[in-house]
Amino acid sequence: MPLATKNLIPAVLLTSALSGIISGVHAKTYRWVDSDGTVHYSDRVPAEHIDQARSILDSRGLETEHTEAAKTAEELAKEAELQRLKEHEQRLIEEQRERDRVLLRTFRYEDDIILTRDGKLNSIDTSIQIVRSNIRRLKQNLEALQRQAADSERRGQTISKNHLKEIERTRNQLKDNYAEIIHKEQAKELIREKHNTDLKRFRELKNLNPDTDEQENAAKTYTLLETVVVCGSAEQCDQLWEKAERYVRQHATTRMQLLAASIIMTAAPAKDDDISITVSRIEEKDVADVRLFMDLQCKESPRGKDFCKTEAVDGIRTGFRNFLIDDTAAGKVNPETGPARSTPTPRPTSPAEKP
């Protein structure tokens, strides 16, 4: 028998058998492949193969309908997660579109955003100045109370409990006022972040190039948060407190007025080139971390204010945190070399001393 004829026999038999199934009763013919890879043809799908992918064939053996295999539990879980992510993504897109609409309705020009931001910052700065005035008053009160207590001791008199309570109350008020300054500075940071984000998005929506004008750069000013150090533990706080005392003694030009467990304070500035430093150990009920806050003040006079803006005085402010967190500068004892010595910052020159 010729080879070509021999090869045609299985195909002819399969086609004939399939045609017989299909044309016999005009029933549906299903085709599926089981898990072992075997192809099946039948007018019904057995229950054990119902989850397999299958096709329905017409009388000519052509596919008229296809059913995918049933999904596994893992595939169904992945599909559900993908759908959840798509829905979440769509919500984010809609929320961003709404923010964009509000942004464009609120501001017509980028200068409007800058002016709004600066107005809010200036308002908080004004309230900080009021707090500072309270701090100066409290320091004066505390100095008077301590002076009265010292006079009583020199005269051999007992300091009354009420007097001691008043001293403690004034100290606590000082700490509360410093904590309020920190909160206000944190609020300023949030305002800067929000409005700078708004400004960037506004420029994207309007296809504007970033401006580095004076108004924008004005917002990048010194923040008192640069003089806040957060303690990791009570033991670390005690170590940092000792370093803070050394820093105050090294840089303040006025005498030490108060050295307590929660406040280190030098006397108020008397001269235009005086530097008064206060460090407070702030513990609040709603805040887990303990914070050390250093505040530097100059005399409230035109020359004193100019002196406080000098680069050297700025160096004392910004150097506080580095001094406390830098092991070498802070004087950590090295087992091989002994205590490290910090390099003193040169004493600033006041405007009156400048040539």
What pLDDT digit, counting tens, does each position of 294-319 carry? 999 999 999 999 999 999 999 999 99
201-218 per-position pLDDT tens digit: 999 998 887 665 544 444
Mean pLDDT of 230-259: 91
Buried (b) or exposed (e) across 107-139, using 16+ Cβ within 10 A?
Answer: beebeebbeebbebbeeeeeebeebbeebeebb
Side chain identity, residue 234: A
Chain mean pLDDT for the chain: 80
- In the structure, what pLDDT confidence band is assigned to residue 339 with cuts at 50, 70 and 90? very low
Domain range annotation of the chain: 3-67, 93-221, 225-355
Quick one: which of 91, 289, 258 has its CA closest to 182? 289
Phi, psi of 289, rounded to the nearest 5 degrees: -80, 150
Higher pLDDT, 59 or 334: 59
Least confident among 91-95, 105-109, 144-148, 288-292? 288-292
What was the pLDDT predicted at 26?
Answer: 52
Distance between CA atoms of 153 and 205, rounded to whole angstroms?
A: 71
Mean pLDDT of 32-36: 77
What was the pLDDT predicted at 209?
Answer: 78
Side chain identity, residue 303: R
Phi, psi of 256, rounded to the nearest 5 degrees: -70, 120
Most confidently modeled range among 7-16, 247-256, 278-287: 247-256
What was the pLDDT predicted at 212?
Answer: 52
CA 277 to chain centre: 29
Q: How many CA atoms lie within 13 A of 79 on its CB side?
A: 6
Determine what percent of the chain is predicted with pLDDT higher than 90: 47
Side chain identity, residue 352: A
What was the pLDDT predicted at 216?
Answer: 47
Mean pLDDT of 216-234: 68
Determine what percent of the chain is predicted with pLDDT higher than 70: 79
Higher pLDDT, 56 or 279: 279
Higher pLDDT, 37 or 215: 37
